[in-house]
Amino acid sequence: MDILISDKWLRNWLTTKATPKQLESCLSLCGPSVEKIEKVNGDLVYHIEITTNRVDSASVYGIAREAAAILPRFKIPAKLRPMADKPKQKFVKKVSYLNAKVDPSLCSRFTAVLIKNVKIADSPKWLQENLKAVGERPINNIVDISNFVMHEVGQPVHTFDYDKIKNKKMILRNSKKGESITTLDGKQHKLPGGDIVIEDGSDKLIDLCGIMGGNASAVDGSTKNVLLFVQTYNPSKIRTTSMKLAQRTGAAVLFEKGLSTQLVSTGITRAIELFGQIPGSVVKNNILDIYPNPKKIKYVTLTSDFIEKLLGIKIKNKDITKYLNSLDFKASWKGKDLTVVIPPHRSLDVTIAEDVVEEIARIYGYHNLPSELMAGSLPEKNPLNTFTFEREIKTILKELKAVETYTLSLVAKKFEEENALKLRNPLGKDGEYLRTSLMPSLLAAANTNTGHHGPLQIFEMANVYIPRKNDLPKEKLILAGVFENYNFRTAKGIIEKLLNLLNIAYKTKIEGVKNYKPSQRLVFENGAIAFGEFGNLENGFAYYQFDVEKLHKFANNIKTFIQPSQYPPQIEDITLVLPGKTKVGELIKSMKQSSGLVSKIELTDIYKDSYTFNIWYQNPQKTLNDKEVKTIREKLLGVAKSKHGAIQKD
């Protein structure tokens, strides 16, 4: 959470000559991070990030306490002014002016005190200035005190118009689903149920606890008697309600992080002090304090060896004591053993030895620690991983002019199979399902580029999520790609080249499925195992996808050397006229099989029904003469004619 702290306000509690710049850099290195300093009407305001575990420092006093511990480490003297945490009044379990019934699982400490004859007026100028500096609009003396105490102490405080509480009765309980309350800002909320609320003697809800007071019991211009109200609420309850109702008030943000019950006492003390300054007001002598399970003092024990092991260096015991005591801890040594008493405001945060080491280390200063790579033996590689192979595929595709994309794995229902995994809380209908195929995403990617001229080739390598019963889905790594404005042969050549370079042996078969044009999809197989597909889609794109794990299994990374023949081939071009619907792939296969001396056939040109082939005749043992070539050629043409009806063009 980010908070604003006024420099003037801070110096009410912190006596130091540190400049704002020094405060900024020292605090950032050893404590809460100061993001920036802003000038506001003759004051300076620190923007400070408070981590969730350090809500105790989310206030003027909290920051002053941190600064008082940190600044001396930079040789800048600093002193914290103590803040009173006990009022003159008495904390009692029952009071005559309020009959409260409190569920302790919702509210671990409940305090309230009646203040009579409060005259509504503007707050004193100094108080208004402080509030304005941190962006709070002064309203009147009562409301301003609540805001002031929250900023200064870090404890939210609420005030009710006492005379609006029916029968002087309060029941603090869980809300029922559908109950409604109108809050101070005029908004009406239908409650989700399980929210902490207060009901008065007329069964009406008068407070949405920890978030915002109810309108029905709000302080207004005619208020005379004020019920001052300071509590510790169940943090996760507050967070749930505040998120569900989208009411992220300052109070909610503090309560949901878990406040110390000790702070209730400090908060009410400070508020009573300020109310006491309003002329004529009378604070009742008894403060109602429902606190059935007071927090016990906590200790953590550890040793100097442990501190040294975790830090990597040795710090003197007396320095450790000094650092801890400056943060209100109480450190005591017995030889190497250290016992640390945890102050109440840190009891939720500091619970184990490591937490104490963190306090020592940050005050010592992480920047003062040396920096060294670890020695020791190295771990072994995980043999199951295929990162290098995946990268090789990507490199090949890049060389083949493909462009890589990363698309979102969350897709709309219309793109998915019936059983695809569904999210319980998607960000929208477009990303409700975990994809089981990359195809829809890649088609969308191709469609993004409709304005693109010329051939286009996009690919992605990503997991798809195949559901499994009572288990996590199978995360299957898929390589998929789409071609646009590519002729079929060029696209297919890219796939063939990829498989050649990966040294994968394969056969193909034609097999139609949904989304592909009939009989225009090839399935790639190694043995009897299909590992991928390529073909023309209904929408005109060519598309491919492969199972990367299988590619890896079938890829042979041992490349055998082939001795180039010392006898040159005879090469010639032959043009054949093919009857309609001839499968050229089959024709080439037949021609090649016509003789063992046909070493290579390439289709080089197509003009209407004329197909030109570049044919190599080669005998590894000798140079073929024209007569021998003639015999092979005749055999080849014979097969072409008899099996496929292909005739040589004159």
Minimum Å gap between C-beta 138 and other proteins is 32
SS3 319: helix
Query: In the set 210, 235, 267, 343, which binds other proteins (CB under 8 A)?
Result: 235
Minimum Å gap between C-beta 363 and other proteins is 10
- All residues at 6 or more sequence positions from 333 whose CB lies less than 8 Å from its CB, including other chains: 317, 321, 339
Q: Please tell me whether residue 335 binds other proteins under the rule CB under 8 A.
A: no
Considering only residues 453-472, where is the footprint of other proteins by CB under 8 A? 456-458, 462-463, 465, 470, 472
Residue 583 token pair: 């499968």
Query: In the set 366, 511, 565, 583, which binds other proteins (CB under 8 A)?
Result: 366
What string marks each residue from 380 to 399 as x (binds other proteins by CB under 8 A) or -? xxx--x-x---x--xx-xxx
Of 157 and 361, the one with the shorter C-beta distance to other proteins is 361
Query: In the set 299, 406, 488, 567, which binds other proteins (CB under 8 A)?
Result: 406
Residue 198 token pair: 């207060």
Q: Please tell me whether residue 473 binds other proteins under the rule CB under 8 A.
A: yes
Residue 292 token pair: 């059935």
Rounded CA separation 123/121 (Å): 6
Q: Please tell me whether residue 478 binds other proteins under the rule CB under 8 A.
A: no
From the list 7-15, 47-55, 222-230, 533-541, the region that binds other proteins by CB under 8 A is 47-55
Residue 411 token pair: 């897709």
Q: Please tell me whether residue 194 binds other proteins under the rule CB under 8 A.
A: no
Considering only residues 605-644, where is the footprint of other proteins by CB under 8 A? none
- 175 near 209, Cβ under 8 Å? no
Of 335 and 379, the one with the shorter C-beta distance to other proteins is 379
Q: Please tell me whether residue 354 binds other proteins under the rule CB under 8 A.
A: yes
Residue 332 token pair: 């005591």
Q: Which H or E element spans position 151?
A: helix 141-153
Q: Please tell me whether residue 346 binds other proteins under the rule CB under 8 A.
A: no
Q: Please tell me whether residue 419 binds other proteins under the rule CB under 8 A.
A: no
Minimum Å gap between C-beta 10 and other proteins is 19
Rounded CA separation 458/474 (Å): 25
From the list 141-149, 170-178, 424-432, 572-580, the region that binds other proteins by CB under 8 A is 424-432
- 10 near 55, Cβ under 8 Å? no
Of 205 and 420, the one with the shorter C-beta distance to other proteins is 420
Query: In the set 26, 340, 357, 504, which binds other proteins (CB under 8 A)?
Result: 357
Q: Please tell me whether residue 339 binds other proteins under the rule CB under 8 A.
A: no
Query: In the set 100, 300, 341, 421, which binds other proteins (CB under 8 A)?
Result: 421
Q: Please tell me whether residue 408 binds other proteins under the rule CB under 8 A.
A: yes
Cα-based distances in Å from 499 to 62, 388, 396, 504:
65, 16, 10, 5
Considering only residues 22-41, where is the footprint of other proteins by CB under 8 A? 24-25, 28-33, 35-36
DSSP state of 168: G
Cα-based distances in Å from 23 to 7, 8, 74:
10, 13, 10
Query: In the set 318, 424, 514, 559, which binds other proteins (CB under 8 A)?
Result: 424
Amino acid letter, 80: L
Q: Please tell me whether residue 559 binds other proteins under the rule CB under 8 A.
A: no
Query: In the set 84, 92, 297, 369, which binds other proteins (CB under 8 A)?
Result: 369
SS3 59: coil
Q: Please tell me whether residue 370 binds other proteins under the rule CB under 8 A.
A: yes
Query: In the set 54, 109, 552, 644, which binds other proteins (CB under 8 A)?
Result: 54
Q: Which H or E element spans position 543?
A: strand 542-547
Minimum Å gap between C-beta 49 and other proteins is 9
Strands (E), 20-166: 33-40, 43-49, 78-80, 90-92, 99-102, 107-116, 158-161
| Nearest by Cα to 494 from 546, 451, 554 | 546
Amino acid letter, 243: M
Q: Please tell me whether residue 327 binds other proteins under the rule CB under 8 A.
A: no
Rounded CA separation 244/169 (Å): 28
Of 226 and 320, the one with the shorter C-beta distance to other proteins is 320
Strands (E), 247-297: 282-283, 286-290
From the list 205-213, 377-385, 625-633, 637-645, the region that binds other proteins by CB under 8 A is 377-385
What string marks each residue from 502 to 531 as x (binds other proteins by CB under 8 A) or -? ------------------------------
Of 280 and 376, the one with the shorter C-beta distance to other proteins is 376
If you search the block for the tokens 């510790």, which residue do you land on? 232
Of 427 and 558, the one with the shorter C-beta distance to other proteins is 427
Minimum Å gap between C-beta 34 and other proteins is 9
Considering only residues 57-76, where is the footprint of other proteins by CB under 8 A? none
Query: In the set 40, 44, 184, 444, which binds other proteins (CB under 8 A)?
Result: 444
Q: Is the dihedral of CA 51, 54, 59, 61 positive or negative?
A: negative
Of 159 and 441, the one with the shorter C-beta distance to other proteins is 441
Of 378 and 558, the one with the shorter C-beta distance to other proteins is 378
Minimum Å gap between C-beta 359 and other proteins is 9
Minimum Å gap between C-beta 20 and other proteins is 13
Of 227 and 458, the one with the shorter C-beta distance to other proteins is 458
**Cα–chain-centroid distance for residue 591?**
60
Cα-based distances in Å from 459 to 3, 349, 393, 537, 593:
46, 49, 11, 16, 36
From the list 262-270, 370-378, 597-605, 632-640, the region that binds other proteins by CB under 8 A is 370-378
Q: Please tell me whether residue 373 binds other proteins under the rule CB under 8 A.
A: yes
Q: Please tell me whether residue 311 binds other proteins under the rule CB under 8 A.
A: yes
Minimum Å gap between C-beta 461 and other proteins is 9
Rounded CA separation 616/602 (Å): 9
Cα-based distances in Å from 473 to 432, 434, 470, 643:
16, 10, 9, 49
Q: Please tell me whether residue 407 binds other proteins under the rule CB under 8 A.
A: yes
CB atoms within 10 A of CB 547: 20
Minimum Å gap between C-beta 150 and other proteins is 21
Query: In the set 251, 445, 502, 624, which binds other proteins (CB under 8 A)?
Result: 445
Q: How many residues bind other proteins (CB under 8 A)?
A: 90
Q: Please tell me whether residue 558 binds other proteins under the rule CB under 8 A.
A: no
User: Contacts for 406-414 with beta carbons within 8 Å, 24 or more apart?
Assistant: 406/460, 406/462, 407/438, 407/441, 407/442, 407/444, 407/445, 407/460, 407/462, 408/441, 409/434, 409/435, 409/441, 409/462, 409/463, 409/464, 409/465, 410/434, 410/435, 411/435, 411/440, 411/441
Q: Please tell me whether residue 565 binds other proteins under the rule CB under 8 A.
A: no
Query: In the set 296, 334, 367, 581, which binds other proteins (CB under 8 A)?
Result: 367
Q: Which H or E element spans position 508?
A: strand 507-510
